[in-house]
Amino acid sequence: MIENGGVPNAISCRRWMLLLACWLGLIAPLHAADALPGTRSDVYTQTRYPIVLVHGLFGFGAIGPVDYFHGVAQALRDGGAVVYAPSVSAANLSEVRGEQLLFELRALKAAYGHEKFNLIGHSHGGPTARYVAAVAPELVASVTTVGAPHTGSKTADGLKQMARGSSVPAALANALSGAVSFLSGESGLPQDALGALQSLDSEGAAVFNRRFPQGQPGAPCGEGAAMVNGVRYFSAGGTRVATNPLDLSDAVLLVTSRFFGDEPNDGLVGHCASHWGTVLRDDYEWNHLDEVNQSFGLRGVLSPDPLAFYRLQANRLKKAGL
């Protein structure tokens, strides 16, 4: 009710003040609690088993305040999940990286009593996680791969041809991977850029898949078994390259995407190559770095939020009792 030329009367004022007090006193504290890590107001991502984030080529767990999975661990922890992000060799064979990850998981089990783990691997982190699930399925509840080159990367194929006969590219790549591992506090990890390239090209991926076929699609660009040896398998990928003009890494991915011709890809991985186990989606409007919310969250204006994707996947695992 408005009286006296548009000035609310005392009853109306008290009503609005009461509503404002309710909003500030009841609603605002709920949002504040959701934002605080360690609270139990949000259990959306509270999986039964811890989540382990496995980085890709030239990746790392964390360098100072910078995470490879930018903001992902905190987004999951805010929902109640226990999350680890170990470092493995920035560049090496899938089997070598897998053994390093297996060592980390066994150490976490010994220290904290965890029975199993939900592995989420990006890019080369996908085959790395698959190796552990194949050789030690008793430690793994699920494997989710994001932008992983399961059947190899055409970019790796092209770089292998370009580098043939020269040791300089490998030396530079080893220097880069060594620097990344040093900055992440893991200077003792071995680096082998040629080994990484061998694992990521089409030929090397085919050899790896013959050894560790768990979850492999039965047909090209199809889906694989949802569960093998008690381990659930999921996969997702993107098919955009240049997604944000402010992201300088997009320029690099535009160059690497040229190896794919007309095939949809994320700049480094073709959309069919990302398929493994249950395919959640293979055409997110993300490039290879958007898939882990890099560079620092820059992505297409209308593209899905990667943090929401990881929270949704954690909730899916939670509902499955994992």
Catalytic residue among 150, 271, 275, 288: 288
How do residues 95-126 score in pLDDT, each as one tens digit? 999 999 999 999 999 999 999 999 999 999 99
CB-based burial of residue 107 (10 Å sphere; 0-12 exposed, 13-18 middle, 19+ buried)?
A: exposed
Structure tokens at 321: 């009792």
User: Which pLDDT does position 181 carry in this prediction?
Assistant: 84
Among 284, 275, 276, 287, which Cα is nearest to 312's? 284
For 160, residues 6+ apart whose C-beta sits below 8 A from its C-beta are: 197, 201
The encoded tokens of residue 268 equal 């480094």
Residue 257 preceded by cis peptide, ω within 30: no
Q: Which of 89, 123, 142, 184 is catalytic?
A: 123
Q: Which tokens belong to 171?
A: 């030396």
Q: Which two tokens stand for residue 97?
A: 């990286």
Identify the pLDDT of residue 40: 53
Return the residue matching tokens 């976490």: 108
Residue 165: pLDDT band (50, 70, 90) is low
Predicted confidence (pLDDT) at residue 89 exceeds the cutoff of 80: yes
Residue 186 CA, chain-centre distance (Å), reads: 20
Give the right CATH number for 43-319 from 3.40.309.10, 3.30.2390.10, 3.40.50.300, 3.40.50.1820. Answer: 3.40.50.1820
pTM of this structure: 0.86
The pLDDT of 225-250, averaged and rounded, is 97
List 266, 271, 274, 290, catalytic entry: 266
pLDDT tens for residues 13-35? 333 333 333 333 333 332 333 33
Residue with tokens 């076929």: 213
Question: Which residue do the tokens 């047909």 mark?
Answer: 219
- ∠ CA 90-96-100, nearest 5°, is 75
Q: How many Å is the maximal CA-CA distance in the chain? A: 89
**123 is a catalytic site residue:** yes
How far is residue 310's CA from residue 316's CA, in Å, rounded to a whole number? Answer: 10
Q: Domain extents for the chain? A: 2-33, 43-319
Question: In degrees rounded to 5, what are phi and psi of residue 238?
Answer: -115, 165
User: From CA 100, how far away is CA 113, in angstroms rounded?
Assistant: 19
